[in-house]
């Protein structure tokens, strides 16, 4: 009897963001054949981790509240951007998701002074996106 023709396999235990090369060899009743040349390097990756914090970076021209987000890691594929939605005070009405700068800084227009702003951030890379928990910040007086 002949063994099935196997051309794929799953390799577990790899670390996202680490470069790997592979070689294969045939095996039959007579033993193991010569190994192939090494494959091109491959780098497994996954969705980025969630943003873990944010802070008010300042006020620009009185009406723009600058907020920066931090804490997301790439998980093997560069973060290509962030999306954010927010609501003021006790409001449950959030804005629609809006794309922000890849550096994680965005501005909010029309913010109430001495209040709170609730934000939720999606960090995005080639594998998809991960949405943060709700983050609440105090707005300046």
The per-residue DSSP string of 54-116 comes to EEEEEEETTTEEEEEEE----TTS---EEEEEEEETT---PPPPEEE-TTSEEEEESPPTTSE
Q: Which pLDDT band holds residue 122 (cuts at 50, 70, 90)?
A: very high
Average pLDDT over residues 53-79: 86
Average pLDDT over residues 47-62: 87
pTM exceeds 0.85, yes or no: no
Q: What is the pLDDT of residue 60?
A: 77
Q: Which pLDDT band holds residue 53 (cuts at 50, 70, 90)?
A: very high
Least confidently predicted of 13-22, 32-41, 50-59: 50-59
């Amino acid at each position: 009897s002949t063994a099935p023709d196997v051309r794929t396999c799953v390799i577990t235990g790899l670390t996202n963001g680490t470069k790997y090369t592979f070689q294969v060899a045939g095996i039959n009743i007579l033993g193991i054949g010569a190994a192939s040349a090494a494959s091109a390097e491959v780098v497994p990756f996954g969705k980025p981790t969630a943003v873990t914090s944010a802070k008010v970076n300042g006020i620009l021209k009185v009406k723009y509240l600058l907020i920066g987000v931090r804490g997301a890691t790439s998980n093997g594929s560069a973060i290509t951007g962030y999306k954010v939605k927010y609501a003021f005070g006790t409001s449950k009405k959030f804005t629609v998701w809006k794309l922000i700068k890849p550096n994680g800084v965005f501005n909010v227009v029309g913010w109430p002074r001495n209040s709170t702003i609730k934000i939720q951030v999606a960090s995005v890379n080639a594998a998809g996106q991960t949405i943060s928990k709700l983050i609440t910040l105090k707005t300046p007086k």
